[in-house]
């Protein structure tokens, strides 16, 4: 008796029980069967050759589908592991998941993998790929599987089976010599794998726990075509040139001092002036948009963090408490409890609301030593943190204002493209979310309506909200197409209840205000790093630490050069004088390397005529102009916060 298969377009096929999605694809067209990577059967990803025994909905996924690429990368990770075991049979296997842009695989091996080893592994992968080895799914009983993997001397696989495997679990073979505990699914065979590249090797603790053994993690990328691979590798090369850690050192912007400890940032004078410019803009924008500036302590009693709940659910991300003579104290990991105490310090009427409290507050979070990354992940950082306390009637307008503020931030700093995501709850199905259904409905509805009012196309991500409320994330797209998490607007149903916040409503009764967390830079340090990479260190003139440098050709022009510098400084331009007795071409080259927007060359003719010869870092020679004319031009550019050059 045949079974009924329903396809995405609503059409129906009758097939024999035990047939596969690949058979369904062949019935449609040989071309589709050849392109099939993986299938969805009743909404679940499965191997295309897995038997179907009952009526089902079936979707064939090809290289056009992002989920197919994830499976493809997972299969390429298995190919990598098989190659490693053929070359280095003493190696023990960890895990090998797909990740954004590729995959990694963790290995336990006595000797460190060398660059030459990585080349050998990649060559062996191509050798195995050419054999068209099949990925075959097998089922095995847990007790038998444990015996098998113990006999194979694969202790990490044994541990995973003990923790994760059902009574009957799946494993996948790849050719005659490789087998791995894995839920799958996988591509049909290695002939589908067309483009990959081993990238690097790094240390990684087993299960991410520094108390466990350190393994060697091989990172790689994999794509459906060589063209996509080449484009990605080119983007990687461009990203290396833009690496904020490299540019930060070359441009003398910031450092991380070993004596002080990792994850703690020292902003040098040039970086300091850029940071001041960022912070000044944000504080001024706070005031223009009706926020009140506040300042809260860096360290507070641990009792506060017990009331907020952080001491319980966030303790692993907090520094060790300090025992003082009167109590335990804690470096703050968040600014919100401090703002709540300011709100709660006096009684509020509905007429006082909304109350918007903003602070560029430095927080401290314990990040494990292997996880920190330049300015992007640190232990001490400053958030442009604001908290809004308002009535339910005000909330939609407040969300609109927050998102408008986020758009203004992106535009001001030169980002023209972004993506927005709304994270929602599961309608209470799991019981893991706090707050009443009516509050979730109001909050999620406000986020959606605010996006509609501003014309923002936001993707809804179900069941990804924080337990204490829904949120919207804004992710900017930088100059080379990378997505960066930036602004967040986050509801909080929990803290107002924990701190028993109130306001007196129009009915004369006490009500609980709605509370929204809001950060636009995310953190100053992270945003600084993003800016460095977005502009490749060549900041727009209004942000550049040195906006112009004056370059006299000989010592005879030094006095006039000093007059020019004085005029520029008086006009508010950040200017330096390079009066070294060096050739002017060397001075220009060094200024170019420091990415100074304008170089003002002064020779005898310029000094006599009261002019400067203007050279721009990108537009080259712009010719001689009167000093006052140049000052008018550059100050107008600074005032307009022009990003394009």
Which residues are marked as active site? 336, 365, 383, 385, 387, 471, 517
Nearest to 336 by CA among 365, 291, 304: 304
pLDDT at residue 421, rounded to an integer: 96
Q: Is the pLDDT of residue 370 over 80?
A: no
Q: Is the pLDDT of residue 645 over 80?
A: no
pLDDT at residue 369, rounded to an integer: 77
% of the chain residues with pLDDT over 70: 100
CATH 3.30.980.10 positions along the chain are 67-241
At 551, is the secondary structure helix, strand, or coil? strand
Residue 174 pLDDT grade (very low, low, confident, very high; cuts 50, 70, 90): very high
Which pLDDT tens digit goes with each residue over 100-121? 999 999 999 999 999 999 999 9
Residue 372 pLDDT grade (very low, low, confident, very high; cuts 50, 70, 90): confident
Which pLDDT tens digit goes with each residue over 330-367? 999 999 999 999 999 999 999 999 999 999 999 999 99
Which pLDDT tens digit goes with each residue over 17-47? 999 999 999 999 999 999 999 999 999 999 9
What is the domain class of 255-296+335-534 according to CATH?
alpha beta
> Domain 548-639 adopts which CATH fold?
Rossmann fold (3.40.50)
pLDDT at residue 359, rounded to an integer: 97
392 CB-contact burial (10 Å; exposed 0-12 / middle 13-18 / buried 19+): middle
CATH 3.40.50.800 positions along the chain are 548-639
Domain range 67-241, its CATH number among 2.40.30.10, 3.30.980.10, 3.30.420.40, 3.10.20.740: 3.30.980.10
Average pLDDT (541-545) is: 97
Do 318 and 333 form a contact (C-beta atoms < 8 A)?
A: yes
CATH 3.10.20.30 positions along the chain are 3-62
Average pLDDT along the chain: 95
Do 274 and 253 form a contact (C-beta atoms < 8 A)?
A: yes
Average pLDDT (513-533) is: 96
Nearest to 482 by CA among 409, 536, 404: 536
Average pLDDT (221-249) is: 96
Nearest to 137 by CA among 92, 169, 103: 169
What is the domain class of 3-62 according to CATH?
alpha beta
Q: Rounded distance, CA 342 to CA 495, Å?
A: 14
CATH 3.30.930.10 positions along the chain are 255-296+335-534
Strands (E), 24-166: 38-41, 44-46, 51-52, 56-61, 92-93, 98-99, 102-108, 135-141
pTM of the model: 0.87
Q: Rounded distance, CA 313 to CA 96, Å?
A: 29
Q: Is the pLDDT of residue 407 over 90?
A: yes
pLDDT at residue 175, rounded to an integer: 87
Residue 211 pLDDT grade (very low, low, confident, very high; cuts 50, 70, 90): confident
Contacts of 161 by beta carbon, 8 Å cutoff, 6+ apart: 142, 145, 146, 149, 169, 181
Residue 52 pLDDT grade (very low, low, confident, very high; cuts 50, 70, 90): very high
Residue-wise DSSP of 30-48: HHHHHH--EEEETTEEE-T
């Amino acid at each position: 008796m045949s079974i009924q298969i329903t396809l995405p377009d609503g059409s129906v096929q009758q097939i024999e029980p035990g047939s596969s999605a690949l058979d369904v694809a062949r019935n449609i067209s040989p071309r589709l069967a050849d392109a099939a990577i993986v299938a969805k059967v009743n909404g679940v990803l499965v191997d295309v050759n897995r038997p179907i025994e009952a009526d089902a909905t079936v979707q064939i996924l090809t290289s056009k589908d992002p989920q197919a690429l994830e499976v493809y990368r997972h299969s390429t990770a298995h190919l990598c592991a098989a190659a490693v075991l053929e070359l280095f049979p003493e190696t023990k296997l960890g895990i090998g998941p797909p990740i954004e842009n590729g995959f990694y695989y963790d290995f336990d091996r006595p000797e460190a993998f060398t660059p030459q080893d990585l080349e050998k592994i990649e060559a062996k992968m191509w050798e195995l790929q050419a054999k068209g080895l099949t990925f075959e799914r097998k089922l095995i009983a847990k007790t038998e599987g444990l015996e098998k993997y113990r006999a194979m001397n694969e202790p990490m696989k044994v541990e995973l089976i003990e923790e994760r495997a059902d009574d009957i679990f799946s494993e996948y073979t790849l050719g005659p010599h490789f087998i791995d505990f894995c839920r799958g699914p996988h591509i049909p065979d290695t002939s589908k794998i067309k483009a990959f590249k081993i990238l690097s090797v790094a240390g990684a603790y087993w299960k991410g726990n520094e108390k466990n053994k350190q393994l060697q993690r091989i990172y790689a990328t994999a794509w459906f075509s060589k063209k996509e691979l080449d484009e990605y590798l080119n983007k990687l090369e461009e990203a290396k040139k833009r690496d904020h850690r490299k540019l930060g050192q070359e441009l003398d912007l910031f450092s991380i001092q070993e004596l002080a400890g990792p994850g703690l940032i020292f902003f040098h004078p040039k970086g300091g002036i850029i940071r001041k410019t960022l912070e000044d803009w944000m504080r001024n924008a706070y005031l223009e948009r009706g926020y009140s500036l506040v300042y809260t302590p860096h360290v507070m009693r641990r009792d506060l963090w017990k009331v907020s709940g952080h001491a319980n659910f966030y303790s692993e991300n907090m520094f060790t408490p300090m025992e003082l003579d009167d109590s335990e104290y804690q470096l703050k990991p968040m600014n919100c409890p401090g703002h709540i105490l300011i709100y709660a310090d006096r009684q509020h009427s509905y007429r006082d609301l909304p109350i918007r409290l903003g602070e560029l507050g430095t927080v401290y979070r314990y990040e494990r030593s292997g996880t920190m990354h330049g300015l992007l992940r640190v232990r001490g950082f400053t958030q442009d943190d604001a908290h809004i306390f308002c009535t339910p009637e005000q909330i939609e307008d407040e969300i609109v204002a927050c998102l408008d503020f986020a758009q203004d931030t992106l535009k001001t700093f030169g980002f023209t493209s972004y993506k927005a995501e709304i994270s929602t709850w599961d309608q209470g199905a799991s019981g893991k979310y706090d707050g009443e259904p009516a509050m979730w409905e109001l909050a999620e509805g406000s986020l959606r309506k605010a996006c509609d009012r501003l014309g923002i196309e936001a993707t809804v991500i179900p069941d990804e909200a924080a337990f204490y409320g829904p949120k919207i994330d804004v992710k900017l797209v930088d100059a080379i197409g990378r997505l960066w998490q930036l602004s967040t607007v986050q509801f909080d149903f929990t803290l107002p209840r924990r701190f028993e916040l109130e306001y007196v409503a129009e009915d004369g009764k006490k009500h609980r205000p709605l509370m929204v967390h809001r950060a636009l830079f995310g953190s100053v340090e992270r945003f600084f790093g993003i800016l460095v990479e977005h502009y490749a260190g060549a900041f727009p003139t209004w942000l550049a630490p040195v906006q112009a440098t004056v370059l006299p050709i000989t010592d005879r022009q030094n006095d006039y050069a000093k007059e020019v510098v004085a005029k520029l400084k008086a006009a508010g331009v950040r200017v330096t004088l390079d009066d070294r007795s060096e050739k002017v071409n060397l001075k220009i080259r060094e200024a170019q390397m420091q990415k100074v927007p304008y170089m003002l060359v002064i020779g005898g003719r310029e000094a006599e005529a009261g002019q400067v010869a203007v050279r721009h870092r990108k537009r080259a020679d712009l010719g001689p102009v009167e000093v006052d004319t140049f000052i008018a031009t550059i100050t107008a550019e600074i005032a307009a916060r022009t990003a394009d050059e």
